[in-house]
Amino acid sequence: MELPAPLRQAVDRVLERVPLPELKQAAKTLSDRYRAEVRDGRLHMAQDMAVRAYLATRLPATYAAVRASLDALNEVRLDFTPKTLLDVGAGPGTVLWATTDLWPDLEAAVLFEASAAARKIGEVLAADTITARTVWLAGDVTTDAADLTPADLVTCAYVLDEIVPASLPKMIDRLWQLAKDTLLIIEPGTPAGWQRILAVRAQLIAAGAHLLAPCPHESPCPLNPPDWCHFSRRVARSRLHRLAKDAEVPWEDEKFIYVAASRQPAAVHAARVIAPSRPGSGKVSLKLCGPDGKAGETLFTKRDGEEFRQARRLDWGDLLERNNT
Ligand SMILES: C[S@@+](CC[C@H](N)C(=O)[O-])C[C@H]1O[C@@H](n2cnc3c(N)ncnc32)[C@H](O)[C@@H]1O
């Protein structure tokens, strides 16, 4: 998956003439802090150069994860066309761009972000292209969310791992109150990210939410550690990205996990492919999570006719439109 051309061009302009040694150092610091899930009271993206490093090394991947998660919720709620967006922990505006790409008629967006440096660069990126009325608000979501206005779609991507765990239940409760229709939370596709999403999932179900995706059911998650639910998107690395990370491979696989919950039920209840498919000669094995709340491998062979042909085309994260696993 690639960034939309106007975003790619805006990012290239912001990164023009950035000194490579400084960008590399900032990319390393950012990556170390994210990997260790450092919570020391300082924002990872407090400095301008850290935001630039994010644009070069993380934005394409988080964009791909957000866009894929939006596609998944859209697939089961084709009637949902949000007019208003509230994005919390907006960073440089990743969700705004992905939402606009899927729903170009978005009318208004509020981007809530603690880092002044991220807000400033996000505004610059969006200035020439985003047509929705966009307001960037400063604040800490754990303490300053009381005055936010509800929106059709509320999102929070790659933020929970920066929040003190004890603050999460109250924060999620507030985000759910603010969601007029749907709340989407996305996290890195690590076992720890999955555990955070499981806690959010349980909290939202208890609050009466309908799950849209990825789970096709509201029963307890059938997976047990060391297994964990996550998805993946292949993302092209720009030349600057490779230079900043001393990376040779021109792509990377972004692993992510998400939960989309709504006040409206999903229109489609179908099993989801929750691991890479395992094709063989005349057969394919899919790990499916089904509407009955069970997960496991299902083997499809030529004898399954049309279902086999459909299964063979499916990818990790896709829906298999039938009613059992
Ligand atoms: C990893 S970035 C994700 C940015 C964007 N959502 C994306 O997916 O690319 C996390 C963002 O959340 C912001 N953030 C972290 N804690 C926050 C808080 N308590 N209140 C508001 N924003 C916060 C950070 O400043 C950072 O910009």
SS3 253: strand
Q: What is the pTM of this model?
A: 0.95
SS3 313: helix
Distance 140 CA to ligand 1 centre (A): 10
Helical (H) or strand (E) element with 169: helix 168-178
Counting from 1 in the atom list of ligand 1, the atom nearest the Cα of 90 is: 6
Domains of the chain in sequence order: 5-262 (3.40.50.150), 271-320 (no CATH)
Distance 233 CA to ligand 1 centre (A): 21
Q: Are 194 and 229 in contact (CB under 8 A)?
A: yes
- Rounded CA-CA distance 317/294 in Å is 16
Ramachandran class of 158: left when φ > 0, alpha when ψ lies in -120 to 50, beta otherwise: left
Query: CB of 89 closer than 6 A to ligand 1?
Result: yes
* Residue 238 per-residue DSSP state: P
Residue whose pair of structure tokens reads 């969310």 in the numeric block: 145
Per-residue pLDDT of the chain (325 residues; tens, 9 = 90+): 889 999 999 999 999 989 999 999 988 888 888 888 877 778 888 789 999 999 999 999 999 999 999 999 999 999 999 999 999 999 999 999 999 999 999 999 999 999 999 999 999 999 989 999 999 999 999 999 999 999 999 999 999 999 999 999 999 999 999 999 999 999 999 999 999 999 999 999 999 999 999 999 999 999 999 999 999 999 988 888 888 888 888 899 999 999 999 999 999 889 999 999 999 999 999 999 999 999 999 999 999 999 999 999 999 999 998 644 4
Query: Alpha carbon of 37 to those of 34, 193, 300: distances in Å?
Result: 5, 10, 41
Residues shown for the chain: 325
Q: Are 235 and 251 in contact (CB under 8 A)?
A: yes
Query: CB of 228 closer than 6 A to ligand 1?
Result: no
Q: Ligand 1, residues 162, 164, 172, 256: which to mutate, most atoms within 8 A of Cβ?
A: 162
Give Cα 129 to chain centroid, integer Å: 22
Query: CB of 140 closer than 6 A to ligand 1?
Result: yes
